[in-house]
Amino acid sequence: MQQSAVPELAHTHTRPIHWLATATALAGVVALSSLLQPRTATAAPTPGAETTTVAAPATSGVDFPLDCGPVKAVVVKRATGDLDGDHRPETVAVVHCDAPMGTPPDGVYVLTRASDGRPRIVATLADPKDRTNVSDIAVRDVAVHATLLGYSSDDVPACCPDVRDSVKWQWKDGAFVRSTPAQARSV
C-alpha cells in the first residue's frame, strides 16, 4: 500500500474560506436564476372566440329603479359572468334601500355595457315588490343562481322570512327564464 505524500488532505477539514466560497457560489446561482426566467406561456384562442378582454359593468352611477324616499339605494351583492354567450360579461346586482331599521326587500338586476361603454340595466330578475331577500347569488354555467328568502303569508313579520327558494335564471330566446330546481322550496 502506498502512503499519501500529504497525510492530511486539504478537503478533510473545513475552514472559513471554504464556507465563504460555497456561499458565494450559491448566491451566484440564485442571482443568475432570477435573471433567467421562462417566457410567458401563450395559448391559441379558440376559433370564433372574442380575443379582447372586456371588464364587467360597474354598479356605481347606475340609477336602479327603486323608490327609496329619503335614503339611497345600495348594492349589497354582485356577481359577474357571460350570461348570453357574447363573450362579454354582465353584472348581476342585488340592491335594496339603505333603510336604518328593518330588512328592506332586495331587487336583482342584470347590467350590461351600452354602446357608449356606460353600464345599463337590461333585466329585473327579482322585483322588491315581491318582498324577497337574496342570501346568496352566483353566476355559473351561463346562469344566475340565487337563494331567495321570502314569506308564506302577509302575517309573517318582515324580520323573519319563513320561505327559502333556490332559483336559477337563464337566458333563453331573448329573455331570462326563471326555474326552481325540484324540491328547492322549504317552509
- 3-class SS letters over the chain: CCCCCCCCCHHHCCCHHHHHHHHHHHHHHHHHHHHCCCCCCCCCCCCCCCCCCCCCCCCCCCCCCCCCCCCCEEEEEEEEECCCCCCCCEEEEEEEECCCCCCCCCEEEEEEECCCCCEEEEEEEECHHHCCEEEEEEEECCEEEEEEEECCCCCCCCCCCCEEEEEEEEEECCEEEEECCCCCCEC
The pLDDT of residue 99 is 86
pLDDT in tens, 33-86: 767 666 555 555 555 555 457 889 999 989 999 989 899 999 999 999 999 888
Q: What is the mean pLDDT of the chain?
A: 82
Q: What's the pTM?
A: 0.68
pLDDT band at 177; cut points 50, 70, 90:
very high
